[in-house]
Structure 1
Amino acid sequence: MSQHSASHHDHPHGEGHGHRHTHSHGHDHDSTPLDWNSIGPLLEQQAEIASPAYADAAAWLDTLAPAQGVRRVLDVGSGPGVVTSVLAEAFPAAEAVAVDGSPELLARARERAESRGLAARVSTLHAELPEAIDTLGRADLIWAGNSLHHIGDQRAALVEFAGLLNPGGLMVLVEGGLPTRHLPSHLGFGRPGLEARLDAAHADRFAEMRAGLPGFKDEPDDWRTLLAGAGLTPAGTRTFLTDVPAPVSPVVRKLALAHYERVREGFGDLLEADDLAMVDRLLDPSDELSLHHRTDLFHLTARTVHTARKG
C-alpha cells in the first residue's frame, strides 16, 4: 500500500498535500522509488497545518460514533501518523492503528505518538492494500483519508472495509473538497487564473493515475452511493476548512514552494508555455514576485468527510 502512504497529504485537486500521486507500490509517475525518509518531514508539516480541521472532523465523528463506544480505530493510509494521533486523542478509550505501506512513515507515526504521550494506544501495521485488507482486523471506526482513490476497484474495497466494521461501526472517507489555493488570481505577471488552470492539468494527471491502477474500475465520485452499495447506511457528510491567511509562516511558505516544485516536475508537461513560465517565475528566488518573497501568499483548502454506519 505504499501507493497511499501519504494519503492524508494527497488530494486530487492540485495541492497534493505533500505527496505526488504514486502507483506501482511507492513509485512516482516515472517509476522512481519514493524516498519516504526525505519526504516524511514535509508530509508531517503539511498534515500539522491541517490538524485543526482534522480535529474538528474527529469531534464531529464522536457525535456519530457507535453507542457502545469506539475501542479500535483503523487509520488507512496513515502516512506519518498525524491524523492517527488526532483520532487517538478524540477517542480516548480506543486503540488507534496506523496502517500504511511505508515502514519509514510508520516509524514517524510511532515517534509522533510517543511524543504526544499516546504510545500505549497507538500502534502501527505495515500492509499493502487492497491485498491485505482482510488482515487488518475488526474496528469500530475506519478512517480512509484520501487513500481509497489509490485502489483501482473502490467499490470492492469498500465492501471489504465494511466487512471489518463491528455492528454500529463507522466508515469514514476523506475524499474531495476544494482545491488548495496559495495565491490571488492576479499575480502581477502573466495571465490571471493560473491556479485554476493548474487544477485542470492536475485532474488530467490524476485520471491517468487512476486508470493505471490494478483492477481499475471507472466509477463516478458518488461516495454516498458507493458507501450504500457496500451495505452501509450513509450517516452524513461535512466539509472542513483549513484557512491560513497572509502573512504566512516560513513553514507554510516552504510547503507552497514544495507544492509548486511538484507541479513543475509532476505535470509541467501538460501546461501551456506561458503557464510553465509563470510557474518557473514563482520558483525563482531572485524574482521579487516569486513564492520566496510574496507577501500575499496564503493556504486555503477544504476537505470533505463522508460517513456511513454498519447496521
Structure 2
Amino acid sequence: MTHASPRPAHDHQHETDSAAQAEILDLDAEVLAEHTASITASLPLKSTPRHIVDLGCGTGAGTFALLARFSEAEVTAVDSSADHLRRLREKAGASGVGDRVRTVQADLDAAWPDLGAPDLVWASASMHHLADPARTLRKVHELLAPGGLFAVVELAGFPRFLPEGGPAERPGLEERVHAASGRHHAAHMPHRGADWGPELTDAGFTVEEARTIDVNLDGSRHEAVGRYALHSLQRMRGTVAQTLPAEDLTALDRLLAPDGPHSVLRRADLVVRTERTVWAARRA
C-alpha cells in the first residue's frame, strides 16, 4: 500500500490563511452589499459599460455588484489568489452568471496579462496592497478605452464593531487594537490610507469625483455582523498579539471565544462603523 506524502506545513498554513481571508471577504461583501451597490449606482459614467475589469477582485464583492448593476456587462476578475478566483467562479456558476465572468490570475506588480480595452476598471481595497501602485495606475490608463472610467474604492481598515469606548469590562480595547494594527500596517503596507487623487492625476487621469462615505450599520439588522466581527477581530489579533498588553489580549480573547459569555457572537450591541472613500477618474 502506498501512502500520500504529507502536505508541507507552510502549504497548510497558506490554505488556512487564504480560507480565513476569503471568509472575511465574503462577510464584508454580504454586510456591506447595500453600500457597494450604492457606489456602483452613483459612478459618473457617460455610457453603460459592456466590458469591466475588477482589479484585485478577491472573492467577488465588486464583481457581483457590477454584474447586478450592469446587466449586459461582462467582468474580467483579476486576482493573485487562485483560491479566491476558484471561490468566485463557484459563486458565479451558482448564481447563473458564470458565462459573464472571466477570471485571470495575475500579480499586478509583475507582468500584466491581456485584459482588453475595458470601459470601466474597478479596484476596491486592492491598490494599497501593491508594491508600485503608480505603475498600476499608468497601466490602467493605458488599458482603458478612451473616455473610460477608473473607480478606486478604499475602506478605512477593518471596521469597528463595539460601542464607542467598549467593551465595558475593558474600556477602549477596540481602539487600542486598531491603533496597534495601524502601526503594523504602516510598516508593511505604506500605501494604506493614501489619497489616490494626486496619484491618479499624475498618471494622466482627470479625477471627476472624490467622496468619503460613512458606514454606520446597526448590527441587529444583519445576522452576519457577529461572524464578520469575529473573523475580523481574529485576523487583527494575529497582527497585534505581540504588542498588546496582556490584559488587553485576555479581554480580546474573551470576545473571540465563540461559546464564551463575552463572545461577539452573543452581543446585541454590535455595529459596523467605517468609512469608504471613492475616487472616479476618467481617461480623457
Q: What's the TM-score, normalizing by structure 1?
A: 0.79
Q: Note the C-alpha offset of 1:197.
A: 1.7
Matched, 1:65 2:45: yes
1:162 equivalenced with 2:162 (yes/no): no
Partner amino acid, structure 2, of 1:98: A
Q: Which amino acid aligns with 1:53?
A: H
Identical counterparts, % of pairs: 35
Cα distance change of structure 1 residues 110 and 292 upon mapping to structure 2, 3 Å threshold: closer
- Residues 141 and 172 of structure 1 are in contact (CA less than 8 Å); yes or no, is this contact kept in structure 2? yes
CA distance in 1, matches of 2:177, 2:28: 20
Alignment-derived partner of residue 101 in structure 2: 122
Alpha-carbon distance, 1:238 to partner? 2.7
Residue matched to 2:168 = 188
For 2:137, the aligned partner's letter is L
RMSD: 2.5
Q: How does 1:44-63 map to 2 (within 5 A)?
A: 44-61=26-43
Counterparts of 1:171-186 in structure 2, within 5 Å, are 171-177=150-156, 180-184=159-163, 185-186=165-166
286-295 or 126-135: bigger deviation: 286-295
SS of the aligned residue for 2:150 comes to strand
Larger radius of gyration: 2
Cα gap change, 1:220 to 1:109, in 2 (>3 Å): closer
Q: Name the CA distance, whole Å, in 2 between partners of 1:275 and 1:38.
A: 23
TM-score normalised by L of structure 2: 0.86
Q: Is 1:207 matched with 2:186?
A: yes
Match of 1:224 in 2: 197
> In 2, are the aligned partners of 1:96 and 1:122 still within 8 Å (CA)?
yes
CA distance in 2, matches of 1:277, 1:208: 25
The 2-side partners of 1:244 and 1:186 are apart by: 17
Partners of 2:186 and 2:192 within 8 A in 1: no
Distance change >3 Å, CA 187–CA 224, structure 1 → 2: same
Structure 2: gaps spanning 5 or more residues: 1-9
- 1:234 corresponds to which residue? 207
Alignment correspondent of 1:33: 14
- Is 1:283 matched up with 2:256? yes
- Aligned pair count? 272
The within-5 A match list for 1:63-102 is: 64-67=44-47, 69-102=48-81
CA shift in 2, pair 1:285/1:232, >3 Å: closer
Residues 220/205 of structure 1: CA separation in 2 closer, same or farther (3 Å cut): closer
1:133–1:161: 8 Å Cα contact kept in structure 2? no
| Residue deviations 1:52-77 (CA, integer Å, cap 9, x gap) | 1111000011xx1133x312111111
- Post-superposition Cα deviations, 1:114-155, rounded to whole Å, max 9, x if no partner, equal 233322222211112121335322211111111111111211
**Is the CA contact 1:82–1:112 (under 8 Å) kept in the aligned structure 2?**
no
Q: CA–CA distance in 1 between the matches of 2:205 and 2:183?
A: 31
Q: What's the CA shift for 1:103?
A: 2.0
Gap change, CA 1:252 and 1:278, over 3 Å in 2: same
Q: Give the superposition deviation at 1:298.
A: 2.3
Return 5+ residue gaps in structure 1 as ranges: 1-27, 212-217
CA distance, structure 2, for counterparts of residue 104 and residue 220 of structure 1: 26
